[in-house]
Amino acid sequence: MAGLGVGLIGTGYMGKCHALAWNSVASVFGDVDRPRLVALAEVDAELAARKARDLGFAHATSNWRDLLADPDVDVISVTTPNAFHAEMAIAALEAGKHVWCEKPMAPLLGDAERMQAAAGRSGKIAAMGYNYIQNPMIRQIKGLIEQGAIGAVNHVRVEMDEDFMADPQALFYWKSEAASGYGALDDFAVHPLSLLFTLFGHVEAVVTDMVKPYAERPLPDGGTRPVENHDLASVLFRLEGGISGVLMANRSAWGRKGRIALQIFGSQGSILFDQERMNEFELYQNSGDKTQQGFRKILAAPDHHPYDRFIPAPGHGLGFNDLKIIECHELISAINGKPAHLISFGDGLQIERSVHAMARSFAERRWVSVEA
């Protein structure tokens, strides 16, 4: 059987990541037909043609709507800036295509709701690009929690920090525009929210503070422009079952490159994980000889499926793009009617509702319940 016909909109950082996944998924997993890279779209024809050659797509266009009309395209990856997600994803679903859309869904909650409604009407698979949940270590952590390895979880702390906006002299660009969203919350904190959703379920209530470390940023031709969203966010939250939590997100944290530090505390132990050391986590269990208790480091190994599909030896480590390949395989499984480990548009909408509740809490200076 011929593999899925793939269309790609956008070829920047995440566009290339999607393309690498589509190129590699059949070779890595061996149980799916090789996707056909049909066409990609970019902002101008010359760039599109060059990226098609680089990434292995048969055709290129400067009009993303050409992909909607192409009968050879079965699924479309949407990897454009946040403000364009809703229009493109909805159009693709209405054209009868499956959709794989990068996070977040959209800056406006109403647009995210329209995306989910379009997915429901279409009957097609509509999945969000939350690849951190695909880490075999996160899957193992979820299994340990469900097995009661650390008892009843009562508190969670999660921090996400990077320094790509830490320099006060860095030029103003679209991530500082209000049109792109709230800033650290929806551009950024959605990733730890995807982990919380995967491990524990629904965020029920939040109270939030946000900060602009730099009120203005320089423009290329001189002068400055006011920063329109917030690079730092701090949130207290409650999860299903009464679990308390803290979430902190900082896009201006010098020295942090890809940190998602997760601490999970239970009645019988604790689990620590950091995305910057994504091939390991630490487990403490309050059992056995007290003189020998302590955190144990668990290294990724072939027993932590699907690590085994990439590397036959423990401790060698997966990378960010490998998680995208796993996510691509899950997407293909869903399209083929099989169980899949994904953040659907429905799940993504719940994450968006959490984000907007956080923003409303900041605006109103109070605890806010999250719509279920």
Residue 297: DSSP 8-state = E
**Residue 80 is part of which domain span?**
5-132
- Largest Cα–Cα distance in the chain? 67
Task: For the chain of 372 residues, list the mean pLDDT of each consecutive stretch of 10.
Answer: 91 97 98 98 97 98 98 98 96 98 96 98 98 98 98 98 97 93 91 97 97 97 97 97 96 96 98 98 96 96 98 97 98 98 98 97 98 86
Query: Are residues 32 and 166 located together in one domain of the fold?
Result: no
**Do the Cβ atoms of 356 and 137 come closer than 8 Å?**
no
Q: Give the torsion sign (CA, 343, 346, 349, 351).
A: negative
CA-wise closest residue to 195 among 286, 261, 109: 261
CA-wise closest residue to 76 among 58, 100, 47: 100
Query: Are residues 215 and 252 located together in one domain of the fold?
Result: yes
pTM for the structure as a whole: 0.95
- Phi/psi for 161 (5° steps) reads -135, 135
Residue 71: DSSP 8-state = T
| Core vs surface per residue 307-325: b (16+ CB within 10 A) or e | bebbbeeeeeebeeebbbb
| CATH number for the domain that contains residue 11 | 3.40.50.720
- Name the domain boundary from 132, 164, 179: 132
Query: Are residues 190 and 106 located together in one domain of the fold?
Result: no
| CATH number for the domain that contains residue 250 | 3.30.360.10
CA-wise closest residue to 248 among 271, 228, 230, 270: 230
Query: Are residues 201 and 179 located together in one domain of the fold?
Result: yes
Query: Are residues 112 and 229 located together in one domain of the fold?
Result: no
Query: In whole angstroms, what is the distance from residue 110 CA to residue 272 CA?
Result: 36
Query: Are residues 242 and 275 located together in one domain of the fold?
Result: yes
Query: In whole angstroms, what is the distance from residue 228 CA to residue 207 CA?
Result: 21
Query: Are residues 138 and 126 located together in one domain of the fold?
Result: no
Residue 187, pLDDT score: 86
Residue 188, pLDDT score: 87
Q: How many domains does the chain have?
A: 2
Residue 2, pLDDT score: 80
